[in-house]
Structure 1
Amino acid sequence: MGPGVTCPWSGRLPRLQVRTWIEPVVASTQVASALYDAGLLLVVKASFGGGGSSNHSTSPSPRGTLEDQQQKAISNFYIVYNLVVGLTPLLSAYGLGWLSDRYHRKISICVSLLGFLLSRLGLLLKVLLDWPVEMLYGAAALNGLCGGFSAFWSGVMALGSLGSSQGRRSVRLILIDLILGLAGFCGSMASGYLFEQMAGHSGQGLILTACSVSCATFALFYSLLVLKVPESVAKPSQELPSVDTVSGTVGTYRSLDPDQLDKQSVVGHLPSPGKAKPPKTVIALLFVGAIIYDLAVVGTVDVVPLFVLREPLRWNQVQVGYGMAAGYTVFITSFLGVLVFSRCFRDTTMIMIGMVSFGSGALLLAFVKETYMFYIARAAMMFALIPITTIRSAMSKLIKGSSYGKVFVILQLSLALTGVVTSTMYNKIYQLTMDTFVGTCFALSSFLSFLAIIPIGIVAYKQVPWSQYGDITEK
């Protein structure tokens, strides 16, 4: 049917296989999400008073009573909102993952995108009709009952894993995260300006929320009408892996793959399919490391929006958008990090590098006093995305492709459930410490990030006895 299309991460593909790329859905969904997140924060802030520029304060005290009351009101809103967002997917996400494995891979993606669109419509109606801010809890519940982010992202990771071989899977999944980050960066950069396009309490934010709804609508219809499920290319028993005669290792990409042969026996015969069983202790340790690290990340992400609105930073709408955009640059730097590190280090080493990066940045964030210090702390977090993505990649190499949907959704639900607990805990800690040491939450996140290195270090130690992880050739 004509010449192929060159794809930088998949080699030459037939023209029709462009429809298997999940990136357009990820990009449009994340633009909608970035616009929604900024709009939600600014709309909630306006609903609790202080909707004007935060560069000027009517209180002579930088920690005035009105500002503290507003901070607590916003924090309490997010406690309930995050509980709804985190708990409601528990009712449906696993079922969607099971249906995706059994019937069609797009089920979890399409259903979750429907809920995603409904929640964005909820914010648009709140701005249009000036409804009470509590109605956003209902919109979030609709999103969660349709699977929420847990079902959506597990579906995306399943499609990304199916369309890539084991040797390139870490790069493939981090590339999807890169698209997510670039889209989020663009959406966040535009969010502050779009929010200010219409003056007045009722009209402010209308264009922003309308753009978010438009992007969510595009994502839903693209996934329904255009997106096709790729055929699995991860078939380990098809051919003998080639050997690097100089180093004695297999190929060029190091991977956490216990089904690969030892360096000494790689030239012999391939293991029979189904004989090698994935070590449960390794999978359990990967789960523990992911959960502890996610506690640190979620806690920081939840507190940062509140932190930048009050002293010592006191950002306005445009600065809030810039700050959110800075958070998305980690997707770019993490992608570049995986490209480089995957040629030199094992998966476990890359995971620990990312944890150290985030832990160091969170510690710096605890002592931020000026805006430039905030961006320095963000820069220190440049590899913060590597751990969770690489853990997913490692798990995909330890399980069968037919179980991707269930395993990924269990991991995502575990992260979501612990995230709910973390969100509540961190918001309460923030309320109690914002007048004493406002960086307490960030210091706690730094500690948890370094603590998460322990189970990953055990995995790295356990690798040596039962497998010399080599590299898998990509041609």
Structure 2
Amino acid sequence: MLPYWLSCVEPLVFIAQVGSSFFDTGLLMVAKERSNDTDRYIPSGKAQQKEISNFYMVYNMISGFMPFVPAFLLARIGDKKNRKIPICCPLVGYLLSRCLLLLVIVYHWPLQVMYAAATLRGMSGSFTSYWAGIMALASEESNERLRSFRLVTIELVYGIAGLLGSIASGHIFNVFTVRRSQGTLLAALSVGLYAICLLYSLFLLKVPKAAAASPTERESAVTSRSATGESSERTKLLLRRASQAGLTAAGQTLPSIDRVTIVLLFVGATLYNVSVDGAVDILPTFVVTKPLNWTAEQVGYGNAAGFVIFITSFLGVTVFSRCARDTTIIITGIASFLSGMLVMAFVVKTYQFYIARALNLFALMTMPTIRSMLSKQVDASSYGKIFVLLELSFTLASVITSPIFTKIYQATLDWFAGFCFILSSILSFLAIIPVGVVAYRTRQQQGYEPIPSS
């Protein structure tokens, strides 16, 4: 019998994120080197910024567009068959895409080959399916009272892995070269780590029994009592009354679906995710070109600063959940991100970058809390679908807004390179509005207590 910690999702999340950090740093530095080669007369500056931002624009659009159908299909299969499926399939795509980066580095293939890597990853479900599968699995094995804490704990593991992986990645990038190519060891380690993840998910990861029985299972459970002497008519009557009362056969309360709350949470989450993705898409180009012009080591440290936010957000949820509502935690996280991006817009020195990141300390409290609130609105058998629909809404919005942010960034380089970060702050502010409506509706609903019937 394996110990619990060796069969849950946290080790998988940790190893995968370390491998992803290696890949992200390697891809960014390769993109920077290849953009230097495109114009011998302008090795850095505006031409380089446009070259890198154009590559990431296309790469992110392919990454966002491809998972739509595969991710939804995998989520449905996961809900009906096995929670492992929407996790394992994306890991296959991740492994293949990491292999392609290794080949691009070693054999000096064109950087555009990475578009094929994004396509392969997308066709296997990509992060959309993988993260929705992780969240569904974690939600199913936790109760409602501790669910926010459970989900943010996984975010914490994700952040610690990203922190360690980012710090190490910048140094590893320069360690080992093949055919005068930097980043070979970094890419090879990423491939190895994802191979370990795939094997772990197949052979060690355990899927818990459903926290709440499906309607078919509830009917079967009640019907089975008829064999002990209850009539079938009485069994059906009991089942109908239990359903009307919102109870499972085990006596657990089924969630009452509030569609307005679900829609408002989706709108708020999507607006916030667009603001985050828009800023994050621009950030790599912003830091590796003038005025910051970071090296591989500095890129690693900068990414690590971003992952520290996972730790501080975990601490924030741990403290605030004892004295604040879920909606208050969500709004606090949005405000933290908003203030950091306002400062980021005016960054021209490295120390100023870290000040902006410090203001983002609680930015990652938002999404785990929204996922927790959404999970409380649906039955356990629908966790996979609700989470993948949330991720797909993020993906669709990102596909639309990523080229917009990129073109705005390129158009404003000459007069204000940080304009996109101000735009991101505005979108974050708009995301507060639907969450505020949810907070108001929740207070109104809790303000009225039902009169017990005779």
Q: Deviations over 1:265-315 (max 9, x none)?
A: xxxxx8535776311100000000000000110011111111111222111
**Superposition pairs of residues 93-132 of structure 1, within 5 angstroms:** 93-132=71-110
- Structure 1 match to 2:384: 405
- Structure 1 match to 2:188: 210
Letter in 1 for 2:119: A
Structure with greater proportional helix content: 2
Q: Deviations over 1:176-226 (max 9, x none)?
A: 000000001111101111111135774211000001111111101000011
SS in 2 for 1:272: coil
SS in 1 for 2:424: helix
Answer whether contact 1:463 1:469 (CA < 8 A) is retained.
Answer: no
Q: Which of 18, 25, 38 is the aligned partner of 2:12?
A: 25
* Distance of aligned partners of 1:469 and 1:183 in 2 relative to their CA distance in 1, 3 Å threshold: farther
Letter in 1 for 2:393: S
Answer whether contact 1:194 1:208 (CA < 8 A) is retained.
Answer: yes
Q: Verify: 1:34 aligned to 2:21, yes or no.
A: yes
Letter in 1 for 2:326: D
CA distance in 1, matches of 2:378, 2:176: 51
Answer whether contact 1:354 1:386 (CA < 8 A) is retained.
Answer: yes
CA distance in 1, matches of 2:322, 2:30: 45
- Structure 1 match to 2:242: none
Q: Deviations over 1:76-106 (max 9, x none)?
A: 1111101110000012000000000111110
Q: What is the CA-CA distance between 1:139 and the residue it aligns to?
A: 1.1
Q: Which of 34, 51, 54 is the aligned partner of 1:47?
A: 34
CA distance in 2, matches of 1:189, 1:222: 25
**Superposition pairs of residues 57-72 of structure 1, within 5 angstroms:** 66-72=44-50
* Distance of aligned partners of 1:200 and 1:216 in 2 relative to their CA distance in 1, 3 Å threshold: closer
Q: What is the CA-CA distance between 1:50 and the residue it aligns to?
A: 6.3
CA distance in 1, matches of 2:161, 2:5: 19
Q: Which moved more, 1:280-289 or 1:460-469?
A: 460-469
* Distance of aligned partners of 1:353 and 1:123 in 2 relative to their CA distance in 1, 3 Å threshold: same
SS in 2 for 1:92: helix
- Structure 1 match to 2:332: 353
CA distance in 2, matches of 1:296, 1:175: 24
- Structure 2 match to 1:222: 200
Q: Verify: 1:172 aligned to 2:150, yes or no.
A: yes
- Structure 1 match to 2:350: 371
CA distance in 2, matches of 1:450, 1:304: 20
Letter in 1 for 2:125: G
* Distance of aligned partners of 1:394 and 1:128 in 2 relative to their CA distance in 1, 3 Å threshold: same
**Superposition pairs of residues 459-470 of structure 1, within 5 angstroms:** 459-467=438-446
Q: Percent identity?
A: 48
CA distance in 1, matches of 2:448, 2:288: 47
Answer whether contact 1:115 1:146 (CA < 8 A) is retained.
Answer: yes
Q: Verify: 1:184 aligned to 2:155, yes or no.
A: no
Q: What is the CA-CA distance between 1:234 and the residue it aligns to?
A: 6.3
Q: Which of 329, 338, 342 is the aligned partner of 2:308?
A: 329
Q: Verify: 1:456 aligned to 2:435, yes or no.
A: yes
CA distance in 2, matches of 1:220, 1:469: 50
Answer whether contact 2:255 2:379 (CA < 8 A) is retained.
Answer: no
**Superposition pairs of residues 416-427 of structure 1, within 5 angstroms:** 416-427=395-406
* Distance of aligned partners of 1:202 and 1:418 in 2 relative to their CA distance in 1, 3 Å threshold: farther
CA distance in 2, matches of 1:275, 1:31: 38
Q: What is the CA-CA distance between 1:232 and the residue it aligns to?
A: 3.9
* Distance of aligned partners of 1:219 and 1:65 in 2 relative to their CA distance in 1, 3 Å threshold: closer
CA distance in 1, matches of 2:280, 2:115: 20
SS in 2 for 1:385: helix
Q: Which of 85, 90, 98 is the aligned partner of 2:63?
A: 85
* Distance of aligned partners of 1:422 and 1:104 in 2 relative to their CA distance in 1, 3 Å threshold: same
CA distance in 1, matches of 2:287, 2:133: 33
Q: Which moved more, 1:200-209 or 1:278-287?
A: 200-209
Q: Which of 332, 351, 366 is the aligned partner of 1:387?
A: 366
CA distance in 1, matches of 2:7, 2:144: 18
5+ residue gaps, structure 2: 214-244, 450-454
* Distance of aligned partners of 1:469 and 1:110 in 2 relative to their CA distance in 1, 3 Å threshold: farther
CA distance in 2, matches of 1:307, 1:221: 37
5+ residue gaps, structure 1: 2-14, 52-57, 236-269, 471-475
Q: What is the CA-CA distance between 1:465 and the residue it aligns to?
A: 2.4
Q: Verify: 1:272 aligned to 2:247, yes or no.
A: yes
Q: Verify: 1:283 aligned to 2:272, yes or no.
A: no
Q: What is the CA-CA distance between 1:338 and the residue it aligns to?
A: 0.3
* Distance of aligned partners of 1:200 and 1:176 in 2 relative to their CA distance in 1, 3 Å threshold: same
SS in 2 for 1:49: helix
Answer whether contact 2:337 2:360 (CA < 8 A) is retained.
Answer: yes
Answer whether contact 2:211 2:380 (CA < 8 A) is retained.
Answer: no
Q: Deviations over 1:238-259 (max 9, x none)?
A: xxxxxxxxxxxxxxxxxxxxxx
Query: Matched residue pairs, number?
Result: 413
- Structure 2 match to 1:12: none
Aligned CA RMSD, in angstroms, stands at 2.1
- Structure 1 match to 2:51: 73
Answer whether contact 1:79 1:427 (CA < 8 A) is retained.
Answer: yes
TM-score, normalized by length of structure 1?
Answer: 0.83
Q: What is the CA-CA distance between 1:469 and the residue it aligns to?
A: 11
